[in-house]
Amino acid sequence: MLTVYHAAPSRSSRILTLIDELGINDKITVKRVNIPRRDGTGARDPMNPHPEGKVPLLDHDGTLVSETGAIMLYLLELFPNTISPKIGDPKRGEFLTWMYWYGSVMEPVIVFAALGLDHPGLANTFRDHAAAVARIQTALKKGPWLLGDTYSAADLLVHSPYAWFAEMLPDDPQIKDWVVRCTARPANQRTKALDAA
């Protein structure tokens, strides 16, 4: 049995969008839980088995998978799909790079920038938001999506902070257009409507 722990809206919304993109809504149970929110509302939910009380969390027959990128890769490997390159596909390495780069570099530099944190140690380790933006710009020059002509789960993941935090969206027409196209996808719109309800 597959169960996703979700709080609406939050980082776990991306998992619901992925589930919809994969057409596996009937194969996964979604359990809504409470989480502490940035504005001081919410609280840790005793029904949520995540060790830090966060979301998303995937429970597959007692095996717990946390972290958005890990859950996405787990589901993409479990279910045949068209939004991730298969093993042996020349685009597979590039796809995996984007999936890991998001959590290891992009999200941290966006958080640092939003909080106004600037330190040589952070810049040496993670670079900065401008470097992350440049990397996305370079990819989008090759096609409308991060992997070129094909939308993938990497687009779903990497565009997401710009969809949530408009103040962090770079003033770049190519990136803005990409974010609009990602958020306009039917699965994304359905998740947004579910979260709003």
Q: How far apart are the C-alpha atoms of 31 and 25, rounded to whole Å?
A: 13
pTM of the full predicted structure? 0.95
* Contacts for 109 with CB less than 8 Å, ≥ 6 apart: 126, 127, 128, 129, 131, 132
Question: What is the three-class DSSP state of 13?
Answer: helix
* Contacts for 130 with CB less than 8 Å, ≥ 6 apart: none
For residue 56, say if its preceding peptide bond is cis, omega within 30 degrees of 0: yes
- The reported pLDDT for the residue numbered 137 is 98
Average pLDDT of the residues in 105-113 = 95
pLDDT digits (tens, 9 = 90+) for 55-83: 999 999 999 999 999 999 999 999 999 99
Alpha-carbon torsion (161, 167, 171, 173), positive or negative:
positive
Distances (CA, A) of 116 to 71, 113, 159, 161: 30, 5, 21, 17
pLDDT digits (tens, 9 = 90+) for 128-147: 999 999 999 999 999 999 99
Q: Is 169 within 8 Å of 162 (Cβ atoms)?
A: yes
Q: Is 146 within 8 Å of 158 (Cβ atoms)?
A: yes
Other C-beta atoms within 10 Å of 18: how many?
A: 26
User: At 38, is the pLDDT very low, low, confident or very high (cuts 50, 70, 90)?
Assistant: confident
DSSP 12: T
